[in-house]
Amino acid sequence: MSMRVYEYAKKIGSSSKEILKRLSDAGFDVANHMTVLTEEDVEFLNQTYTNKEKKARNGVLSNDSGQADALATEGGSAKEGQGAIEIILEPMTVADIASQLEVPATEIILLLLKWGIVAPKNYLLDEAIVSRIAQHFGVCVKKPERKVEQKREVRAILDSAKIEKRMPVIVVLGHVDHGKTTLLDFIRKTRVAAREKGGITQHLGAYHVETKHGGIVFLDTPGHEAFSKIRSRGVKAADIAILVVAADDGIMPQTIEAIKFAKEMSLPIIVAVNKVDKANATRLEVVKRQLAEQDLLPEEWGGQTIVMPVSAKVGTGIDELLDMVDLQAQLLELKADISSPAAGYVLESKLEKGRGPVATIILQQGYLRIGDTFIAGDATGKVSSLLDSHNKSLREVGPSQPVQVATFSELPNAGDYFEVVPKGQLRKARPQPKAVSKPGFKDKAINLIIKADTNSSKEALEDAIKKLSKKIDHTDFHIVASGVGDIGERDVQLASHTGSSIVGLHVKATNALHAAQKEGVSISLFDIIYKLLEDLERRAEGAREIKMVDKKVGEGVIRKVFDIKKVGIIAGCYVKDGIFSKNGKMVVWRNKQKIGSGSITSLQREGKNIKEVHAGFECAFMADGLLDFAVDDRIECYISVPENKP
C-alpha cells in the first residue's frame, strides 16, 4: 500500500518537515509532504527511525540509554560483540559487506552517502572502501591467503585451453515489416510475432532454439531506422547474417544499411526472399538484380550469395533455409575456448522491479557461473542469477547461449564487452557522488521527458527525436530528461516544473496518471516508435509559428476630403477594384509618390459602419497616421494573411 510523506510522519509521531529533511539529506528525491514514498524511501526511513528514537521522542528513554544512543550515532551502528567479526579485505558489493557485518544494507548505503559516495546495494566496493567501512564498525580485516599451489593450478588450467564446438549465432536483419519476426516465429513454433505490437520488435531479442540440425541461436533486430545502433550491435555478436527481403518491396533503405553492417563485420550473408506466396513470380528475379547491385551476387548468377525464396507465413522454404544455415556453420567450424574466463557481449539491458539492472549476455568463450564478478562497459557486478530464453534458472551457461544476468552496478549499454575477472583485478576507481544538474526547459521548444523499457530503446528514441528536430526546421524538440522504466510521480513533478510533456515507449504510467491529471501534465504512451514520432510531428505542425504577410485586396481613388472638428480627417473614396476592409491597411499614392500608410480605424457607407466595401461603391474611412489626403489620391488596401495562403 502506498504512503505519502505526511502519512508516514503521522504514523511515527514526527513532522513532515523532519521527514523531508532526512530524505533530502540522504540524497532521496522528494518534493513535498504529498510525495508518495517508494519502497526504498520507506525502508530507509524505517532504518533511520529506530524504536529507540521513537521512545526518545516521547521522553521514555533513561539518561543511560540516551547516552548509548549518542555513542551509537557518533561511532556508527556497531553491534554488541561485533569486534569479534573478521572479514577478508577484498572488493565486495554493498550487500556482501552488510551481510558479513550483520547489518542492514541500507545502513551501509546511508554511511556511504555521508561520505559523499553514491552506492546502491549491488555496487562493487574496492578494497579501500571495504577497509574504511570495517574500521568504522570496529571490525578486523585480514588479507586473503595467496597460495602458490593455487596460482599454479589456475595457470595450468589457463594454459591447457579446452576447445569445443559451439552453436552458431544468427542475426536476422532487414527492413521494417519485411517479416523478420514472423520468420523466427515459424522456426521456433511459438507466438512471439503476435506479442510484438504492430509486428515490430522493440528491442534486441536472443532465442536459443533446437532444430533437426542441432542448437541455433537467433538474434532478432528491429527494422525501424531509429534502431540502427542496435542492429549494428547485433551483428557484432553474430556468426552468420540472414537478410530478410520482402519479395513485393525489394531492397529498402534499412536493407542497404543491414548489408553494410554485415559486410563491415565480415559476416557470411544468406538472403531469405520472403512473402513469395503473395508476390508475382518475376519479383524474385527483380530482388536478385537489386542484390547484385549491392555486391551480393547470387550463386546461380556465378556469385557466392545464397538466395532462398521463403514464406514465413506458410513455411515454404524454411527447412531449406535452415539447411543452408547449418552448412554455412559447418564451413565456419565454430569453436570456443571453454577453459578461458567467460567473455562476450551485452545484447540488451533494462531495469526490473525487485532485481535492479539486468542484461542479456551472449558469451563467445568460457563458462559464466553464479557468484562470478565481472566488468561490462562502465558497469561492474557479481552474478546473482542466470535466466535462459525460456525464463529457466541456470547455475552456469556456456558460449553462444543467450542468458539474462543480474546484478549490475548500473545499466550497461547494448554492445558493451562483458568479461569475468577476479575480484582483485576489478577497477580501483572509487565511486564518486553523481553530479546532479538542475533540469530546465528550453524556450520556444517542445520540451519532453522520455521513458522507455530498455536502455537501447531509450537511446534509439533520443537519437530519433534529435533527427526529427533537424528535419523540422521551424520546431525544436528539447529532451529535459530521459530514463528507463515506468513513468512515476517524480517524472510528473519534473514535467510540471519544467513545462514538459511526457512520452513513453513500451512503458506504463498507472501510478502517475492521477498526479498528471492534477498537475495538468500530458502523458502519451506508445508501443511502436514510428507512431510516437508521427505524434511528435503533428505536435510540431501545431506549434508552427504562422508568418503573416500583407496582401493587396483593393484599390480606389479619393473623391472628397472632410476635416471635421473633434472627429478628424475623413476621406471619401470610390472603390475601383477589389474590396476595402475595416481590418485593412491603407497606402496613399499621389502621382508616383508614396504619401503615407496606416491602419483603417473606421469604415462607413451611407452613414453606417460596415466591415468591407466592394468595387463600384463609394465609402468614407479614417486611418491612423494618415492626415494628408487630396482629391485624386490613389488608395491601396492591404490585409494580413498567412505566408503560404493564396
Residue 433 reports pLDDT greater than 70? no
Residue 269 reports pLDDT greater than 80? yes
Average pLDDT over residues 523-527: 94
Domain membership flag for residue 437: no
Average pLDDT over residues 168-197: 75
Tell me the pTM: 0.57
* Mean pLDDT (the chain, rounded): 81
pLDDT band at 555 (very low <50, low <70, confident <90, very high): very high
Q: Are residues 233 and 343 in the same domain?
A: no
Q: Are residues 180 and 326 in the same domain?
A: yes
Contact 170, 239 (CB under 8 A): yes
DSSP one-letter code for 300:
G
Domain membership flag for residue 160: no
pLDDT band at 584 (very low <50, low <70, confident <90, very high): very high
Nearest alpha carbon to residue 359 among 338, 384, 335: 384
Residue 26 reports pLDDT greater than 80? no
Alpha-carbon span 108 to 72, nearest angstrom: 14
Residues 132-176 have pLDDT tens digits of 898 888 888 887 765 444 434 434 444 456 888 899 999 898 888
Domain membership flag for residue 72: yes
* β 568-581/618-623 pair status: antiparallel
Q: Is pLDDT larger for residue 556 or for residue 545?
A: 556
pLDDT of residue 68: 32
pLDDT band at 644 (very low <50, low <70, confident <90, very high): low
pLDDT of residue 32: 65
What percentage of the chain reaches a pLDDT higher than 70?
82
Q: Are residues 610 and 487 in the same domain?
A: no
Alpha-carbon span 443 to 441, nearest angstrom: 6
pLDDT of residue 272: 96
Task: Take residue 38 and report the three cell numbers written for it.
Answer: 517508494
Q: Are residues 172 and 302 in the same domain?
A: yes
Average pLDDT over residues 233-238: 76
Residues 595-639 have pLDDT tens digits of 889 999 999 998 899 999 999 999 999 988 777 889 999 999 999
Contact 487, 510 (CB under 8 A): no
Residues 534-550 have pLDDT tens digits of 999 988 887 666 778 89
Q: Point out the domain boundary residue: 92, 126, 142.
A: 142
Q: Are residues 214 and 286 in the same domain?
A: yes
Lowest mean pLDDT among 296-305, 516-525, 605-614, 622-631: 622-631
pLDDT of residue 505: 93
Residues 331-358 have pLDDT tens digits of 888 999 898 899 998 888 888 877 888 9
Instruction: Give the H or E element holding residue 243.
Output: strand 240-246
Which phi and psi (to 5°) does residue 364 adopt? Answer: -110, -15
Q: Are residues 531 and 554 in the same domain?
A: no
What percentage of the chain reaches a pLDDT higher than 90?
33
Domain membership flag for residue 151: no
Contact 413, 403 (CB under 8 A): no
Q: What is the 3-state secondary structure (H, E, C) of 325-345?
A: HHHHHHHHCCEEECCCCCEEE
Domain membership flag for residue 441: no
pLDDT band at 573 (very low <50, low <70, confident <90, very high): very high
Lowest mean pLDDT among 48-62, 78-92, 586-600, 622-636: 48-62
DSSP one-letter code for 118:
-
What is the total count of domains within the chain?
5
Q: Are residues 180 and 61 in the same domain?
A: no
Domain membership flag for residue 418: yes
Block residue for cell numbers 513470380: 281
pLDDT of residue 90: 83
pLDDT of residue 46: 82
Three-state secondary structure call for residue 274: strand
pLDDT band at 438 (very low <50, low <70, confident <90, very high): very low
Domain membership flag for residue 158: no
Block residue for cell numbers 496613399: 588
Looking at residue 607, which CATH number applies to its domain?
A: 2.40.30.10
Q: Are residues 538 and 565 in the same domain?
A: no
Residue 274 reports pLDDT greater than 70? yes
pLDDT band at 25 (very low <50, low <70, confident <90, very high): confident
Q: Point out the domain boundary residue: 510, 542, 574.
A: 542
Q: Are residues 351 and 264 in the same domain?
A: no
Contact 502, 523 (CB under 8 A): yes
pLDDT of residue 78: 43
Residues 206-222 have pLDDT tens digits of 778 887 778 889 887 76
Q: Are residues 329 and 341 in the same domain?
A: no
pLDDT of residue 238: 87
Question: Strand ranges (DSSP E) for 136-204?
Answer: 140-142, 163-165, 169-174
Q: Are residues 175 and 297 in the same domain?
A: yes
pLDDT of residue 33: 62
Domain span holding position 65: 3-142
pLDDT of residue 34: 60
pLDDT of residue 91: 82
Domain membership flag for residue 357: yes
Q: Point out the domain boundary residue: 487, 509, 542.
A: 542
- Note the helical H segments in 196-317: 228-236, 253-264, 283-293
**Which one of 93-97, 115-119, 262-266, 396-400 scores highest in mean pLDDT?**
396-400
Average pLDDT over residues 427-453: 64
pLDDT of residue 427: 55
Residue 423 reports pLDDT greater than 90? no
Looking at residue 530, which CATH number applies to its domain?
A: 3.40.50.10050
Q: Are residues 590 and 553 in the same domain?
A: yes
